[in-house]
Structure 1
Amino acid sequence: MEQSNTRIIYIFIDLILPLIIGYILHKKKWMGITTCNLLLKLNIRFIATVLALGSFWLMDINSKFLSILLYGILVCIIPGLLSYPLSRHLKNPRAEGSFLLTGYLSNIGTLVGLCCFVLYGEIGFAYVQAVAIFQNIFTLLFCIPLAGYYKQLSQARSFKASFKPQWRDIFISWNQLALIGVLAGFLLSINHVPRPTIFPVIFDSFVHIGAWIGMLPIGFLLKFSALKFYLRESLMMLPIKFIILPLLTYTVFSLISTDSLFINTMTLIGAAPAAINSIAISQLYKLNTNMATAIFMITTAIFFIIVFPVYYIFIYL
């Protein structure tokens, strides 16, 4: 219990507090959009590279690793594909791109990680972080190029030019620098290179630093006025995030495993709300940040008010 309380305190310090400070900085005009974008780039390009290297270096590459890899990809692909037909009513490429990003990306590592730690301890937290690593890879390989595609499409329509995508710019970006960290960590792990004694201290420090650098600009970008304008799109995302994917996840894992802790953890991962990174990527690629913000806020609120309490009752009653 004491460790759970400590974890909750860290979540407040590293997640909620920088969100509040970022929002205040925006309202007081103490920080500009240039600084906000600089922090987003620093987090995605540098901090994420170090964390990717450390995360893969920590993992044991075995058969269970591969099964988690498959689920980590599917938990992104399935809701993303279900979002495509719902995005057809959006005529603006900036809005469509942001809507799809919120479909593909879920708040797994941070929010669900805390919930599973409180319920199941370190093993539940470890399962969540393993899946979150593969969502990060999916973000780098697919979601960032997707954002680049919709950015180019939006620019072509703005200038009334025929759309000819520049595929090199779409698939190769400085925002994908963390892939180098993934590859380096993977090679260090499979070659059983020992980690230096100072490694845990550095890794933990970067987790906290990354939280602040990542969350503060998100707080800066929060606009509560966007909720009323994008309520329809937010409600359209709810069945995908909170009904279809968790039910599918629970059914599949119940058939292939008898480990109730593993099944329950994977099910809660399937019920994660929209990710913070959907806002960050929308901002960096000049998509509809307000839509991504609205979907993030509403799905997160529904998760806390309805989804997690129902899940808790289902598990323990």
Structure 2
Amino acid sequence: MDETITRILTLLADSLLPITLGYFLHRWNLVSPRFTQALITFNVRVMFTILAFISFWKLKLSAELLWIPVIGLVITFAPYFAGLAMSRGLKDRPRERCAFVMSAMLGNTGTLGGLVSYLVIGPVAYAYVQVVAVLQNVLLILFCFPVCQKFHDLADSKGAVIKKRSFRELFFTWNQISVLGMLLGGVFSALSIPQPAAFDQAFSAFIHLSCWINFLPVGLLLNFEAAARFMKKAMLIIPLKFVFVPLLTWAVSSLLFSDPTIIRTMVIVASTPTAINAVLSCALYGLENNLTLASFIGTTLIFAIVLCPLFFLLWA
């Protein structure tokens, strides 16, 4: 119980405090938009790279885990394609459409999904979640960022012919630098190079630091009035995130796994609200960030008030 309380308090400290601090810094005009953008860029290019290197070095693949990335792909791409279909009416507003798609696609897997899975099911569930989280971090860099870039270019073209970017321009930019961290960490793991014990403490410290750098820009960007204007549109994502994707994940997981622990963990992961990475991705590429903020606020509240108690009642 003490450890559970500690984890909950840590989650609150690493999420609510930086959001609150960022909000008041913004309200008091103590930071500039340029600083906010620099903070987001630093997190994507520096913190993501460090965490990717350490986590991939620690990752040990086994036959049992090989099917979990398949479920991770279902959890990620089912809402992506559904979001594209649902947002066809926004074709003439590419910044808004991409924000809707990213809000639908990206879930708060590693933080909320990991914590709730741990509290409801146990430590082994937390490990399963991290496999999906690692996959989604890879897709964030290699898929979501190029998608955001394309929608950004579409918005800038204003109906003109879109500049066709080369493979290098889409996939080899400074925003994808953390891929090198993933590759280097994977090589160290494959070569069975032991990771120094000090890295455990360093990784924990970097996780907390990354959370603050992740959530602080949310507060800096938070505009309740602007987000409220998009809340109705953002709420269209609710049945997609909390009904369609969890049911699809349950159906596919039931076919692939006999272990109920894995099935339940994947359902929890599939039910997570809009991720902070959706907010950061749209901010990084100048898309309609107020829509992602509205989805982040609305889906997180519903997840906390409705989904979390339901999971405890069913499986705790």
TM-score for both structures, normalised by structure 1: 0.95
Map Cα deviations across residues 207-235 of structure 1 (whole Å, 9 max, x no partner): 11111111111111112113432123212
Q: Are 1:94 and 2:95 counterparts?
A: yes
Name the stretch that deviates more: 258-267 or 15-24.
258-267
Q: Are 1:243 and 2:243 counterparts?
A: yes
- Unaligned stretches of 5+ in structure 1? none
2:83 aligned partner: 83
> Cα distance, 1:165 vs. partner?
2.5
Number of equivalenced pairs = 314
Q: Are 1:164 and 2:163 counterparts?
A: yes
2:107 aligned partner: 106
**Which residues of 2 match residues 3-82 of structure 1 at below 5 A?**
3-82=3-82
One-letter code aligned to 1:96: R
Question: How many Å separate the matches in 2 of 1:4 and 1:307?
Answer: 18
Q: Are 1:203 and 2:203 counterparts?
A: yes
**Which residues of 2 match residues 223-242 of structure 1 at below 5 A?**
223-242=223-242
Question: How many Å separate the matches in 1 of 2:294 and 2:256?
Answer: 36
One-letter code aligned to 1:54: I
Q: Are 1:147 and 2:163 counterparts?
A: no
One-letter code aligned to 1:246: P
Question: How many Å separate the matches in 2 of 1:23 and 1:125?
Answer: 31
1:301 aligned partner: 301
Contact 1:153 1:165 in 2 (8 A): no
Contact 1:149 1:165 in 2 (8 A): no
Q: Are 1:128 and 2:129 counterparts?
A: yes
**What SS class does the counterpart of residue 113 from structure 2 fall into?**
helix
Question: How many Å separate the matches in 1 of 2:274 and 2:129?
Answer: 16
Question: How many Å separate the matches in 2 of 1:36 and 1:127?
Answer: 33
One-letter code aligned to 1:253: S
> Cα distance, 1:82 vs. partner?
0.6
- Unaligned stretches of 5+ in structure 2? none
> Cα distance, 1:198 vs. partner?
1.3
Contact 1:73 1:138 in 2 (8 A): no
1:116 aligned partner: 117
Contact 2:39 2:213 in 1 (8 A): yes
Map Cα deviations across residues 217-271 of structure 1 (whole Å, 9 max, x no partner): 1111112113432123212111110001111111222233232222111110011
**What SS class does the counterpart of residue 230 from structure 1 fall into?**
helix
**Which residues of 2 match residues 206-285 of structure 1 at below 5 A?**
206-285=206-285
**What SS class does the counterpart of residue 160 from structure 2 fall into?**
coil
Question: How many Å separate the matches in 2 of 1:14 and 1:231?
Answer: 25
What is the alpha-carbon root mean square deviation over aligned residues? 1.4
One-letter code aligned to 1:173: T
1:287 aligned partner: 287
One-letter code aligned to 1:162: V
Question: How many Å separate the matches in 2 of 1:11 and 1:217?
Answer: 17
Question: How many Å separate the matches in 2 of 1:226 and 1:85?
Answer: 25
One-letter code aligned to 2:20: I
The percentage of aligned residue pairs carrying the same residue is 34
One-letter code aligned to 2:126: F
Question: How many Å separate the matches in 1 of 2:61 and 2:187?
Answer: 10
Question: How many Å separate the matches in 2 of 1:197 and 1:48?
Answer: 21
Question: How many Å separate the matches in 1 of 2:147 and 2:252?
Answer: 29
Compared with structure 1, are the counterparts of its residues 21 and 110 closer, same or farther at alpha carbon in structure 2 (3 Å cutoff)? same
TM-score for both structures, normalised by structure 2: 0.95
Contact 2:67 2:256 in 1 (8 A): no
**What SS class does the counterpart of residue 30 from structure 2 fall into?**
coil
Question: How many Å separate the matches in 2 of 1:255 and 1:161?
Answer: 47
One-letter code aligned to 1:198: A
One-letter code aligned to 2:202: I
One-letter code aligned to 2:119: V
**What SS class does the counterpart of residue 225 from structure 1 fall into?**
helix
